[in-house]
Amino acid sequence: MEDANQHQTSRPPSVPAQSPPNKVYMTGGEMPKTFLYDVLMKAFTCYSVALGRARDGLFSSLGTGVLVRRGKRFGILTAYHCLHSCSPAVQLGSDHGDTLWLILNRGRTVVVQAREALEHPLAKPHSAEFGPDLSFIEILSIERLGTFNAVGSFWSLDRSRPQIMQNFGIPYTPIASIGYPEVHYNTIKDGNVVRHQVRHMVYQNAIQTGDVFEKDGWDYLDTTIWYPGSPDLPSSFAGVSGGPVWGMELRKHKSDGHISIEKYALIGITFYEIYRKGDEGRLRAHFINSVYDLAWRNLG
């Protein structure tokens, strides 16, 4: 299985009339290509997971996930519907369940047998538009966990939620939404060898005023993805569900003008495509309080 990193630029967000001291606001179109293609595309690949399963000899894609740990639990955070909208639903935790085929950093494939993982449904959806829609695949096998650690990184959800909200949950925070759109999946057969190709897509944007809201106790982030017509862009964001949204603190270096990611944090999990019209798409994600706290309250 293989993956290819891709980046798409969002609609340039509006910026405040005056910048606070020591901060400079830029639109998406002003970002240098060296940052877009050399930095942002590679920044979060160590956490990303393309989800797939093998059942009855057939492979099917399931969506996207992100490697996380909480307390002593290590695994993959994703959207609940990624594992349950397929028929039959994914079954884990026994010898008679599904084998997971996962694509991690740099196209490394990790095969997880059903008995080596266990699903914890964190939030079962009441509606497609608002969920709540989160699930956690815990890696039970010590041997398999060693494989994940060798090729990827687990983001800790034990970090200070108020601090993350203060640093990365406010308007004009740069963000990157990540996922593996289904339209880019491709299966190539070469004799007895079968290769599954995917694209690790990165959609850059910024939190705008009004993008963050609450409903029934859950918090959400709505983001707009804008792009001029391109054959490489998905006609649908199916497959991006379960993918992480990262908040970033960027630094523009005075010496040569290049931009680097100084700090970052996981701030959301995408679960719903609001619409895709013309050159614009809009995605909904569970936000910081839901991801770090609310979803886990019923898990021992």
Q: What is 199-249 written as a DSSP string?
A: EEEEEEEE--TTSEEEETTEEEEEEEEE----TTS-S--TT-TT-EEEEEE
Peptide bond into 132 cis (omega under 30): yes
Superfamily covering domain 32-46+159-296:
Trypsin-like serine proteases (2.40.10.10)
* Residue whose pair of structure tokens reads 């909200």 in the numeric block: 165
Domain residue limits, the chain: 32-46+159-296, 48-156
Please tell me the pTM assigned to this model. Answer: 0.88
pLDDT at 237: 84
Asked if the domains 32-46+159-296 and 48-156 are classified in one and the same CATH topology, the answer is: yes
pLDDT (tens place) for every residue of the chain, 300 residues total = 445 454 444 444 455 544 454 555 555 556 666 777 778 888 899 999 999 988 877 788 899 999 999 999 999 999 999 999 988 999 999 888 899 999 998 888 899 999 999 999 999 999 999 999 999 999 999 999 999 999 999 999 999 999 999 999 999 999 999 998 887 777 666 666 666 677 788 888 899 999 999 999 999 999 988 766 655 567 778 889 999 999 999 888 888 778 889 999 999 999 999 988 877 889 999 999 999 999 999 886
Residue 8 host element (H or E):
strand 2-9
Sorted by sequence, the CB contacts under 8 Å of residue 187 that are 6+ apart come out as 59, 194, 195, 196, 197
- Mapped onto helix, strand or coil, the DSSP state of residue 105 is helix
Class (C level, CATH) for 48-156: mainly beta
Beta bridge partners of 284: 222, 272
**Closest by CA position to 29, among listed 251, 210, 206, 234:** 206
Note the pLDDT of residue 232.
Answer: 57
Between CA 236 and CA 218 the distance in angstroms is: 26
Residue 52: closest CA among 177, 190, 198? 198
